[in-house]
Amino acid sequence: MKRFVLFVLSAALCAGSVFAQDASAQSAISIKQAAKDRIQLDTMSSRSRMVITAKNGAATERVIDQYSKDAANGFARAVIVFQSPATVRGTRFLMMDNAAGKSDQWIFLPALGKVRRIASSESGGSFMGTDFSYDDMSLMDRNVEEDTHTVLREETLNGAACYVIESVPKDSDFQYAKTLTWIDKAGYRTYKVELYNKRGAVEKLMEMSAYKDIQGRDTSTQTKVSTLAAGTSTTIYMDIIKYDDPIPEGVFTTAYLETGRAR
C-alpha cells in the first residue's frame, strides 16, 4: 500500500526510482507522484481529534478512528468511525476507489438508522459539518494522471526549499479549478495546498505539519483545512497511528457501517 486517505495527507518512505533522479531534471508529474507515493505500508489505523473552529473562534472537538487498507485489486479503501461526542457517536463513513479512478462513498447516520450512498451531486458538500468536502476526502489520493501539472517556481516554506506545482484538472466537473502544492525538494513532504474555485480565488488552504517518525515513517500528524471566505477551519491532530496492524476485510463493507461489527 503506497497511500491512504484524508488525515495522514503525506507520509514517509522513499519509494521507487523517482527518488534516484536529479531533482532538477524531474517533471512536475513525477514530483507529484513522488509526494503521493512516499508511504509504504500494508494498513493504517489511527485515532484523531478533529477540532472545528467557527468564525467567532468557538471550537468543537470530535474523536474519530480511521482504518485504511488496499483491496486485493490495489484500490484504496478507508473507513472513518466517529467516537465522540454523543451527537455524532456511531456515525461511520466508507470510501472505496473504483475502476473509473473515482471514489464510491457511503455514510451511516445513527439518527437515520441506515446506510446512504453519497451522490456525485453532493461531492462539494461539507463532510459532517467540517471544512472538508466529500471531494476533499480523497484529494491527496487523487490520481496524478487526472490533472495537468506545471512547476511554477521554487521557494522556501517551513525552512525547506520547495517546488510550487500547479495542478489543473482535466475534468471540468471537478470541484476546484486548480490547486497549488508546496512540496519539499529534499524529502517530498507536502506542506501546503491552495485550492482555487472556478472564479480563480483561493477557496481553501490545507496545511500539513508536525512531522514525526512513526514506525520508521516520517509522518505528518497535524492537518489544518481553512475555508477562507467563511473564516472557519478544521484541524486534525493524529494522537495514535499504527502501521501494518491486521484489519479484517469485513471492516470495509456497508454491513460494517450499519452494525459496527466486522463479519
pLDDT digits (tens, 9 = 90+) for 81-100: 999 999 999 999 999 988 87
- Residue 26: predicted pLDDT: 64
- Residue 241: predicted pLDDT: 96
- Residue 98: predicted pLDDT: 87
Average pLDDT, the chain: 88
Domain 17-259 carries which CATH code? 2.50.20.10
| Length of the chain (residues) | 263
- Residue 12: predicted pLDDT: 31
- Residue 102: predicted pLDDT: 78
What is the CB neighbour count within 10 angstroms for residue 79? 22
Taking Cα atoms as reference points, which of 33, 53, 54, 41 lies closest to residue 8? 41
- The 10s digit of each residue's pLDDT in 250-260 is 999 999 999 99
- CB neighbour burial string for 215-251, b if at least 16 within 10 angstroms, e if fewer: eebbbbbbbbbbbeeeebbbbbbbeebebeeebeeeb
Weakly modelled stretches of the chain, pLDDT under 70: 1-26, 140
At 110, give phi and psi (nearest 5°).
Answer: -55, -35
C-alpha to C-alpha distances, 226 to 85, 236, 248, nearest whole angstrom: 22, 12, 34
Kindly report each contact of residues 124-127 with a partner whose C-beta sits within 8 Å and lies 24 or more positions away, as own/partner.
124/175, 127/93
- Residue 177: predicted pLDDT: 96
Query: Taking every pair of C-alpha atoms in the chain, what is the biggest distance, in angstroms?
Result: 55
Q: Which residues pair with 174 in a beta bridge?
A: none
Q: Which residues pair with 185 in a beta bridge?
A: none
At 31, give phi and psi (nearest 5°).
Answer: -65, -45
- Residue 20: predicted pLDDT: 33
The identity of residue 32, as a single letter, is K
Label residue 160 exposed, middle or buried (CB < 10 Å: 0-12, 13-18, 19+): middle
Cell of 18: 523517482
The identity of residue 196, as a single letter, is Y
- Residue 11: predicted pLDDT: 33
